[in-house]
Amino acid sequence: MKYLDSHVLRPILQSELQLRRVVPESASHVAQSLVETSTRGVDSHGINLFPYYVSAIEGGRINPTPRFTWAARKPSVAVLNADHGFGHHAGSTAMDAAVEMASQTGIGAVSVRESTHFGAAAYFALQASRRGYLAFAFTNADALVRVHDGRTAFFGTNPICFCAPMDGEDPFCLDMATSQVSWNKIVNKRDAGELLPIGWACDQEGESTIEPGRAAMLEPIGEYKGYGLGMMVEILCAVLAGGPLGRDLLPMYGSPLNEQRAISHFFVAINIVDFVDAKNFTEQMTELARRIRGLRPRGKSPVMISGDPEKHNYRKRQTQGIPIEDAKYAQFLQVSAEFKKAAL
Amino acid sequence: MKYLDSHVLRPILQSELQLRRVVPESASHVAQSLVETSTRGVDSHGINLFPYYVSAIEGGRINPTPRFTWAARKPSVAVLNADHGFGHHAGSTAMDAAVEMASQTGIGAVSVRESTHFGAAAYFALQASRRGYLAFAFTNADALVRVHDGRTAFFGTNPICFCAPMDGEDPFCLDMATSQVSWNKIVNKRDAGELLPIGWACDQEGESTIEPGRAAMLEPIGEYKGYGLGMMVEILCAVLAGGPLGRDLLPMYGSPLNEQRAISHFFVAINIVDFVDAKNFTEQMTELARRIRGLRPRGKSPVMISGDPEKHNYRKRQTQGIPIEDAKYAQFLQVSAEFKKAAL
């Protein structure tokens, strides 16, 4: 395991992307999203994705020089065609537009079509909540989660992200797949030679399995509920954007990198002060967090609210660096020897 | 078990409410919501609630003659003060306003404060989706769901409802508590003398229990995920409306009926045609439903989408009537002998 200094790493990521013809604004959002996400401890959606992104640019899947176009605009909604550019850039552009509309009309929503993997949904919703807005970010993804009462994966992990501003600390941040766990956790158990807890995964016949080697699909949270939430996200993203369904999306890995995926996203921003006095909102959020964090815990760790584990990680990794597996670090060095400069 | 004819029942419910000074528009929404919800098979939120509502009017908790006031208005958002009137009427008024704003600007959102129990969230979202809109309905509720890693209930079952129009059939309808099950299911197991499945409930110390008699709280779906969704709903409802938190709400049952509860709701309507061609949306929804319903099932029943079980119930109960337990039917007859006319 190596540790990388996030402050040194960010500009290297950006310049390596720009060296590969990625426009500066895309490169900046990708670098910022990956480093922030890893520093928050969400290793599945942080810098570990970088080697994939480099391959996807080189293969032609991700357009390094996208031309974003607005397909429809009303006072509070818009549709952005991302031209297969980085989802990080498209999503951030969309969320900015949602915030701008919300500042005028109270709420704004933007649908994004023909996009690519956008990294962590929290990147966008945090961006809006740090400016004082309630914010949602959604994306569809390739089929990986078993349909309720069926034997087939149809929806992706279709995440729901919701953020709300807090006083004197980073926003409340819920960023969750609608499956019990991410696929990464199955892979980690397999690599560690451990069995899976009941309820995480099922085999290719749709039967529950605790053997990571037989796992072929993920289980939704709360049975029909997580499955329904996955379909809700699919409707808000793919159906509203007129984009392909998750079931028809190329898988992220193992598919030809010269083929595009056309992922769809959906973003909402809500202007709090059009509903309630800002001070009233802030005080109630503070009170809510204070009371919950003071509840009697089940174990030794205090009760937390969504986003607290990431805030703890952020403080730690800001100084200790971002951990990276040796094999992944070797992939970084294959991309560029510059990354040695970030090693602690 | 008795069976009541929904068509005969609805006007009796309405006139019995009006006899108790409930304004006609409130009475109409309550009667319509209860009958529609029961006919859809959701017995926990249908006509079974009627005797409670009568007590709550007589006790003073629910205001039969509310004066709704709009506290804030922007082109796409508004805040409605429900004056402790029936949540069914307040919610329907709020959803109508959200649809009206969405028709002008693409999206509309309404926060409702100082309301009462609003019955089934689906009543409002279905109303908007039948008019061609995507719709969300949320409400907070008194503390009943254990916080993740804690030993205390802080949030209510805080439901999420999302509906989307479909061609030639009632909308897609997800209406789910963010807990594994509703409290009713615990009560039903207790009454049947059965043990609970693991993961439904915990005792007053916050430890998992399978004994219905020891159950004191419900478990959230997907552990920290359902807990986070519950807090999301709390923020969208109580915090955005400046209303009391679920933890501070009087419980629905067992609290003095002369005390008001001040429940908060939140509604969103999205105008689909401002994003995508209506025909494109409809065709993709039809295709999505067709493909999922045709997937290989795990058991003998076909794979369904959210709202399908309710559609099956609706067809059946339209002709066979709404089932009602003898003890509950006796409560109806105590309210009025008129209900005999609805018995099949």
pLDDT for B171: 98
CA distance A230 to A215: 20
Nearest Cβ partner for A296 among B109, B152, B176? B152
CA distance B6 to A339: 70
Rounded to 5 degrees, what angle do the CA atoms B176, B213, B220 make?
30
- Residues in chain B predicted with pLDDT less than 50, given as ranges, are none
Nearest Cβ partner for B222 among A226, A270, A297? A226
CA-closest candidate to residue A207, choices A142, A150, A144, A143: A150
Show residues of chain B in contact with A172, CB under 8 Å.
231, 235
Show residues of chain B in contact with A280, CB under 8 Å.
242
CA distance A317 to B33: 52
Taking only the tens place, the pLDDT of each residue in B37-59 is 999 999 999 999 999 999 999 99
Nearest Cβ partner for B231 among A147, A229, A306? A306
CA distance B27 to B50: 11
Nearest Cβ partner for B232 among A72, A174, A232? A174
How many other C-beta atoms can be found within 10 angstroms of the C-beta atom of residue B334?
11
Q: Do A222 and B222 touch (CB under 8 A)?
A: yes
CA distance A148 to A286: 38
Measured in residues, chain A has a length of 344
Q: How many CB pairs under 8 A join A and B?
A: 239
Question: Could you list the mean pLDDT of each consecutive 10-residue stretch along chain A, which spans 344 residues?
Answer: 97 98 98 98 95 97 98 93 98 98 98 98 98 98 96 97 97 97 88 93 96 96 96 98 96 94 98 96 96 96 97 97 96 98 97
SS3 per residue for chain B: CEEECHHHHHHHHHHHHHHCCCCHHHHHHHHHHHHHHHHCCCHHHCHHHHHHHHHHHHHCCCCCCCCCEEEEECCCEEEEECCCCCHHHHHHHHHHHHHHHHHHHCEEEEEEEEECCCCCCHHHHHHHHCCCEEEEEEECCCCCEECCCECCEEECCCCEEEEECCCCCCCEEEEECCECCCHHHHHHHHHCCCCCCCCCEECCCCCEECCHHHCCEECECCCHHHHHHHHHHHHHHHHHHCCCCHHHCCCCCCCCCCCCCCEEEEEEEEEHHHCCCHHHHHHHHHHHHHHHHCCCECCCCCCCCCCHHHHHHHHHHHHHCEEECHHHHHHHHHHCHHHHHHEC
CA distance B94 to B99: 9
CA distance A322 to A9: 10
pLDDT for B71: 87
Q: Long-range contacts for B210-214 (Cβ within 8 Å, ≥24 apart)? A: B212/B186, B212/B187
Enumerate the β-bridge partners of residue A2: A324
Smallest Cα distance from A172 to chain B, Å: 9
Rounded to 5 degrees, what angle do the CA atoms A128, A129, A131 make?
70
Please name the residues in contact with A326: beta carbons below 8 A apart, sequence gap of 6 or more: A1, A2
Answer for the pair B172, B226: CB distance below 8 angstroms, yes or no.
Answer: no
The torsion angles phi and psi of B109, rounded to 5 degrees, stand at: -135, 140
Nearest Cβ partner for B147 among A74, A276, A292? A292
Smallest Cα distance from B239 to chain A, Å: 6
The torsion angles phi and psi of A224, rounded to 5 degrees, stand at: -65, -20
Per-residue tokens: A122: 């929290």
Show residues of chain A in contact with B288, CB under 8 Å.
231, 234-235, 239, 245
Q: Do A107 and B111 touch (CB under 8 A)?
A: no
Nearest Cβ partner for B298 among A151, A234, A268? A151
Per-residue tokens: B224: 């920290």
Q: For residue A229, what is the nearest residue in chain B, using CA coordinates?
A: B174
pLDDT for A8: 98
Answer for the pair A41, A310: CB distance below 8 angstroms, yes or no.
Answer: yes
Q: Do A107 and B76 touch (CB under 8 A)?
A: yes
How many other C-beta atoms can be found within 10 angstroms of the C-beta atom of residue A319?
9
CA-closest candidate to residue B235, choices B181, B158, B180: B158
pLDDT for B339: 98
Q: Do B245 and A284 touch (CB under 8 A)?
A: yes
Q: Do B221 and A225 touch (CB under 8 A)?
A: yes
Answer for the pair A37, A119: CB distance below 8 angstroms, yes or no.
Answer: yes
Please give the distance of CA A73 from its chain centroid, rounded to a whole number. 26
Smallest Cα distance from A270 to chain B, Å: 9
CA distance A59 to A259: 8
Please name the residues in contact with B178: beta carbons below 8 A apart, sequence gap of 6 or more: B145, B155, B157, B158, B159, B160, B220, B221, B226, B227, B229, B230, B233
**DSSP string computed for A218-284:** EPBTTTHHHHHHHHHHHIIIIIHHT---GGGSPPSSSS-TTS---EEEEEEEEEGGGTS-HHHHHHH
Q: Could you tell me whether strands A322-324 and A172-176 are parallel, antiparallel, or unpaired per DSSP bridges?
A: unpaired
Show residues of chain A in contact with B277, CB under 8 Å.
242
Smallest Cα distance from B32 to chain A, Å: 26
pLDDT for A206: 95
CA distance A238 to A231: 10
